[in-house]
Amino acid sequence: MTIAALNPWQVLDQLQQNGLRRAGSINRWQPAVDIIETAQHYEIQLDLPGVKADQVQVELEDNTLKISGEKVRPQNENETYRYKERVTGTFARQFRLPEDANLNAINARFDNGVLSLTIQKQEQAKPRKIEIQSA
């Protein structure tokens, strides 16, 4: 009987490679996302390396922010790919916005392959004193 040492890093690497192959075979992927909250706003940041701003659509429908697009690999007739690991194809992400999000104050900025969406918060109703007038 032979006992082989199990290398967990090799197993994780193999699982990741298999996942990338499957994702690439259906031409759909999901960009990594960070969501940040401050007292004044929310910010959603998506990593979109190799994607141009005109290849991305941002829509707001029923309090849901929808971000979609496509990452294409430039094709040259004189080149043959021997190995492809970078993911291409369509992508889509959806985010249900919180109730305090101001749907009329959303800004989008694309810089160095990162799409940043800033959603301002609505001002909270502050308690106020109501004077009682006598007749």
**Based on the structure, what is the number of domains in the chain?**
1
Residue 111: inside a domain? yes
CATH number at residue 39: 2.60.40.790
pLDDT tens-digit readout, 43-97: 999 999 999 999 999 999 999 999 999 998 888 889 888 888 888 999 999 999 9
Is pTM, for the whole model, over 0.85? no
Q: How many CB atoms lie within 10 A of CB 95?
A: 17
Residue 135 lies in a domain: no
In a domain, 21, yes or no: no
59 lies in a domain? yes
Percentage of the chain modeled with pLDDT above 70:
79
**Residue 80 domain-assigned (yes or no):** no
In a domain, 129, yes or no: no
- pLDDT tens, position by position, 98-124: 999 999 999 999 999 999 999 999 987
Domain holding 119, by residue range, is 30-74+86-124
